[in-house]
Amino acid sequence: MITDYLALDIETTGLSPEKNRVIEIGAVKYAKDKEVEKFSCLIKIFQPLPPKITELTGITDGMLSGGCDEKTAITEFLQFAQDTPILLGHNISFDFSFIKVAASRYGLTFERQALDTLMFAKKLHPEFESRALSALCAYYGIVQEHAHRAVDDAVCAHRLYLALRREFPDYNGFVAQQLSYRQKKQEPMTARQKKYLCDLLNHHGMEYTKEMDFLTKSDASRMIDQLIFTKGRLQS
């Protein structure tokens, strides 16, 4: 039985690892099923949060403005996770794909095996209409104080794993599987986009920061569109 792992959960701006960004990482190390250490980080992004994400998570633009830049957040998380080869989470492949893509933007790698409580629940509770983390927590009496906040959901996934093991002690499927994600090619921001973005920011009294050098072509396009929509175009 695997009892040493890193419970992981993230919050994002959407569902695509290439088009959307991580806004919060929460992780908890467990050894022999006991909590050892926590990691929690909010991450700045270069566009306003979609209202539906704020409604779902409670995370606001103001909260993110005080967070880390993405490179710092990802680097520090990978350092935190370096001695834990096994992840645990609910639909953990989603979290893994976002971290892997974000790491690749800075020339970093992220490969892991994982325990997926969603996969276990599908096999052990085929009768359930919903196997969302909230539904399973309600079934097992696991209190979710702050649903859709990363550390809290990581802890809930851990507690769900323990609950499933208690209810199904003879199940031999509690094993880690290798995670994989075929990353879609990301084109870097073009020189033309960078110049226009610099000019647009300067025009509106804003500053181009070094973190923006890591914007992809699609990221830059969305940021430019958002600035034009909220602030206006360059005036000739």
Q: Which run of H or E residues covers position 177? A: strand 177-178
Mean pLDDT of 20-43: 98
Per-residue pLDDT at 235: 80
Rounded CA gap, 40 and 61, in Å? 17
Tracing tokens 């403005």 back to the chain, one arrives at: 65
Q: What is the pLDDT of residues 121-178, one digit of tens each?
A: 999 999 999 999 999 999 999 999 899 999 999 999 999 999 999 999 999 999 999 9
* 165 and 214 fall within a common domain: no
* 204 and 115 fall within a common domain: no
Reported pTM: 0.89
Rounded CA gap, 25 and 213, in Å? 22
**86-89: strand order across its sheet:** 34-42, 22-31, 5-12, 86-89, 113-116, 177-178
> How many domains does the chain fold into?
2
Alpha-carbon distances of 121 from 6, 40, 149, rounded to whole Å: 19, 26, 21
Q: Is the pLDDT of residue 236 over 70?
A: no
**Full domain range(s) for residue 64:** 5-178
Q: Which residues contact 103 (CB under 8 A, 6 or more apart)?
A: 74, 78, 109, 110
Rounded CA gap, 134 and 9, in Å? 14
Residue 186 lies in a domain: no
Identity of the residue numbered 103? A
| CATH classification at residue 62 | 3.30.420.10
